[in-house]
Amino acid sequence: MALWRIRATVDDRPGYLSVLTASLALRGVNILTVQVHTTEVGAVDDFLVDAPDSLDEAELVAAVERGRGRDCWVARSEARGLADQPTRVLGLATRLVRDPDATGEVLRTLLGADEVTWRPTPVRGGVTGTTMALPDPTGGSYELSRVAPIFTPAEYARAQALAELAATAARRTADQVTLVLPDGAELVVRPSGADDLAGVLELHERCSARTRQRRYLSGAALPAPARLRRLLEPTQGLTLVATATATGSGATATGSGATTTGSGGAVIGSGGAAEPVVAMANLLAEGDEAEVALLVRDDWQRRGLGTALLRRLVGHAERAGLVALQLHVQAENVPMLRTLARLARPTAAERDGSVVTVTVPLAAAPVPVPPVLPAQRR
């Protein structure tokens, strides 16, 4: 017996697939897997089959045509074709998360392309026969080609999903930094993602009631998970999380909280790190202004972490073209007011009862953000 891949188009009507499979069965062909790609001209059926050694390519094509299949393509396959397709795609996705620069090679593997070319010019995506034009979300575009079979809309959708995943991973990697505090402690600061929820929940649980109350103003209770999810992935803005590295843990200061109100969130990134989340910084944009908030675990306060996170949010806001940031701080929260003073920027403060609203003007003109372009496309 020999493994073959067969792709053919059949009318998308009840019973037509069974006619095709019956024609193959009459010749002793065992269908191992099948995928159906819906197109405008009919259903494109992609089979992995085990056929008798006596059957050659021409006889398999004839069997398909007798089963009302058309535009038939047949090619020998290898044992790796037996891998479950979702499992195979998940494996490729895992590779992209670890190495976004491998996007070209992953697309080649996914689609069996003969050539994958990356160009700096954007294109309108789509498929034309055996050629696929795929926009790169980080800038530029891919062109994929193969001798046969023709690309289907389903394959384009898969390629697009993987390209978007690679772009997200690339941006996350570019935005991740190692932060060294004045006392020598090291942390990793990166944009947050939905899978940071567990770590952020633990962060809130390990903060004192006073620290949580200074962050949210409305009380010291733990925020609901749904609210934290919105903070981690907002519509507009950025959330940064700081995780302690193995060499950077070990805090000494307790002190009061350094927090402000306002929600915030992330646009990119992925978490799930084993290291504990020790701080969260939120920026929520609305129009040309944004609210900023910080939450730093008690044993990491008064060590320069809040100041470093706030400066990164200010830099992001300026690159995004925002004109001002607002922070709502309890009047008695002297550590946070000192953190704002360390920015060495003009500020305007307005007090309403026990809350001080501090406005930090930013550069009016947006600073262009170049696209994240992988150093090498493989």
Q: What's the CA dihedral at 160, 161, 166, 169 to 10 degrees? A: 150
Residue 313: CA count within 13 A, CB half-sphere: 34
Alpha helices in the chain (DSSP H): 16-25, 57-66, 85-98, 103-111, 153-175, 197-206, 209-216, 225-232, 305-319, 334-341
Angstrom distances, CA of residue 285 to CA of 74, 195, 321, 322: 54, 22, 11, 8
For residues 244 and 199, is the Cβ–Cβ distance under 8 A?
A: no
CATH of region 176-361, choose from 2.60.40.420, 3.40.630.30, 3.40.50.10140, 3.30.9.10: 3.40.630.30
Q: Contact at 8 Å (CB) between 245 and 275?
A: yes
Task: Decide if 263 contacts 216 (C-beta within 8 A).
Answer: no
What digits encode the pLDDT tens for the residues 113-156?
999 999 988 899 999 999 999 999 888 999 999 999 999 999 99
78, with CB counted inside 10 A (0-12, 13-18, 19+), is: exposed
pLDDT band for position 372 (cuts 50, 70, 90): very low
Residues in the chain: 378
Q: Which residues, other chains included, contact 198 with Cβ-Cβ below 8 Å and sequence gap of 6+?
A: none
HSE-up of residue 218 (Cα within 13 Å, Cβ side): 7
Rounded Cα distance between 5 and 74, Å, is: 6
pLDDT of residue 204 exceeding 60, the answer is yes
Q: Is the pLDDT of residue 55 over 70?
A: yes
Q: Which residue has the tokens 């939120």?
A: 282
pLDDT number for residue 265: 30
pLDDT of residue 316: 87
Which residues does residue 374 pair with via DSSP β-bridges, in sequence order? none
Q: How far is CA 296 from the centre of its chain?
A: 25
Q: Which of 23-37, 39-53, 84-98, 237-251 has the lowest mean pLDDT?
A: 237-251
State how far the Cα of 177 lies from the Cα of 188, in Å rounded to an integer: 6
Average pLDDT over residues 352-361: 94
Tell me the percentage of the chain whose pLDDT exceeds 70.
87
The helix/strand/coil state of 352 is strand
Domain range annotation of the chain = 2-82, 85-173, 176-361
CATH topology classification for 2-82: Alpha-Beta Plaits (3.30.70)
The rounded mean pLDDT for the chain is: 85
Mean pLDDT value across residues 177-185 = 91
267-277 pLDDT, tens digit each:
223 334 458 99
Residue bearing the bigger pLDDT, 264 or 158? 158
Per-residue pLDDT tens over the stretch 8-50: 999 989 999 999 999 999 999 999 989 898 888 889 999 999 9
Averaged pLDDT for residues 354-358: 94
- pLDDT at residue 221, rounded to an integer: 85
**Res 196 pLDDT > 80:** yes
Per the omega criterion (within 30 degrees of 0), is the bond before 122 cis? Answer: no
Longest Cα–Cα distance of the chain, Å, equals: 89
